Amino acid sequence: MGSFLARKVCDKGYTVVVIEKDKAICEKLADTTPALVIRGDACDYRYQYEARMDKADVFAAVTGDDDDNLVACQLAKTSFNVARTVARVNNPKNEHIFNLMGIDAISSTTIISHLIEEETTVGEIITLHLMQKGRLAIVEVEIPAKGSSSCGKAIKDLGLPTECVLVTIIRGDQIIIPRGDEVLQPNDSVIAITEVEKEHMLKKLLAE
């Protein structure tokens, strides 16, 4: 995962430094990416110092050990004031611990379970992406072909909560940036940003 991430981020033009314990992986990375590769333990202050962590915008810990990932992220935050730390979480039960520590936690198990749940809600509301540690969501709401109570009404008259913002309306091949006087139609797909707690209300207002 770390090797793939390093190559992907380098390809986007960012400066990347990798701290890796395994000598063979270090050699392979040095040969296949433009990243600076440091052989060492990212839980050790001296190696993060060598990586100039004080200059980093983001620190990502993606080992297979949750304890190591937590310690490395905490070190980056407390010793080098890295603004954003991201960690791979192997055990979903640990997710809340990372979030409490101000670390963006990514659990593949949780992501897959969300995808399975979202697949069962096609035609109603689909969560596309979570932000702000799960407090905000980018969602897609599909207006039924038979219509709904929102159809024929201007967006400004729908009574949307202030925590919900409509971003885009997809109507056939059209991409519409919604204004207050835009009127929803059957079969529209609406992309919105909402607080997670307001998803149910958004679905009720648009699709029922």
What distance in Å separates the CA atoms of residue 89 and residue 77, rounded to the nearest whole number?
17
Residue 123 has a pLDDT of 45
Nearest Cα to Cα of residue 160 among 98, 124, 203: 203
Strands 164-171, 136-142: pairing is unpaired
Sign (positive or negative) of CA dihedral 44, 50, 55, 58: negative
What distance in Å separates the CA atoms of residue 28 and residue 78, rounded to the nearest whole number?
31
Residue ranges and CATH numbers for the domains of the chain are: 2-107 (3.40.50.720), 121-207 (3.30.70.1450)
What distance in Å separates the CA atoms of residue 57 and residue 196, rounded to the nearest whole number?
27
Which residues of the chain register pLDDT less than 50? 120-123
Tokens read off for 63: 């080992």
Write the pLDDT tens digit of every residue in 111-158. 656 655 555 444 456 666 666 666 778 888 888 888 888 898 899 898
Task: Determine the straight-line distance between the first and last CA of the chain, rounded to whole angstroms.
Answer: 42
Q: Which amino acid is at 194?
A: T
Residues in the chain: 208
Beta bridge partners of 138: 129, 193
